[in-house]
Amino acid sequence: MLQRHIGPFPVSAIGLGCMNLSHAYGVPPLPEQGRAVLQAALDQGVTLFDTAALYGFGANERLVGPVLKAHRARITLCSKGGMTGQPTGAGGTLQRVIDGRPESLIRDCEASLQRLGTDVIDLYYLHRWDKAVPIEESMGALVRLKEAGKIRAIGLSEVSAPILRRAHAVHPVAALQTEYSLWSRNAEIAVLQACRELGVAFVAFSPVARGFLPGTLRDVGTLPDKDIRRAMPRFEPAHYADNLQLLDRAGGFVDLAREAGCTPAQLSLAWLLAQGDHVIPIPGTTSVDHLGENLGAAAVTLGPDLLARLDQLFQPAAIRGARYNAANAAEVDTETWA
């Protein structure tokens, strides 16, 4: 497997995002299926695994931890705090809460360590910047966790270039994670370049556009009731039908994948790998077959002409619908196109 770097860690150029083994896209797969995907990733050379306290309100960490425990010396284990499920109301129902206060981050990290069954998390992200808490205060807590040997490196998720620079002034940030794909190119406004300048790895989540770019999701009406894509404007039926034309028209994405001699999913990931040596995609999947397909993207080489045509096809103005609805957009600090 091609290697890249996150801070002090050499990692596989394509990692595994573990979220959808427990969270977000309707009913998650059975635990044994999730363990099979994790084991297949290990067998095929993946050394970067990404989870979070939020995913399944701890269930994902409990799934991932035991499978990876015997391999800790050869993998980079990543998790996130600052956005967790907290009990609310008399019934104790868990609700997503963004809380970047130092005491909360220390609590979150301790809980993640227990669920993962490890003494240290290699890369620990602030999952969301809590805009009620100065980033410097949240970073201070992460630095203390590092000094205590609880984490080895610090990451940020879904923040803008100015917030990254403020955080990096407190302590070097090893990685910034945000959504990045051909149909979500907000990172190109500023933060991708800021990462390059500061020596920060850029970890791209949803690199195949939450199932859009592979072209297998044709009817968004079939999405499960609790699938998070139902609340995303790009997946509204009218917008989605327009977006599908980018895949299907003559000279569109499907034709370009055929020209490149790979699948659309592989073309999506190969394009990301071509955006810079500091870019590391972390596709998620519940399928061992799809995992193998995704990892095959590391062997795909794209020439400058094909890269230019992909760039032109997926200009931000060509995408219909916003990345997040208004409520979710208010929770992140990423730059947006005018």
Catalogue the long-range contacts made by 131-136 (C-beta closer than 8 Å, 24 or more residues apart). 131/333, 132/100, 133/100, 133/101, 135/159, 135/163, 135/166, 135/167, 135/170, 136/166, 136/167, 136/170
Q: Exactly one of 25, 55, 240, 324 is catalytic; name it.
A: 55
Element housing 151 (H / E): strand 151-157
> Buried (b) or exposed (e) across 37-46, using 16+ Cβ within 10 A?
bbebbbebeb
Short-list 57, 52, 15, CA closest to 282: 15
Cα–Cα distance between 172 and 187 in angstroms, integer? 20
Q: Is 55 a catalytic residue?
A: yes
Q: What are 180's two structure tokens?
A: 């990045």
Measure the CA–CA gap between 124 and 175, rounded to whole angstroms. Answer: 9
Q: What spatial distance separates the first Cα and last Cα of the chain, rounded to whole Å?
A: 38
Tokens of 257: 């994948």
Residue numbers annotated as active site:
55
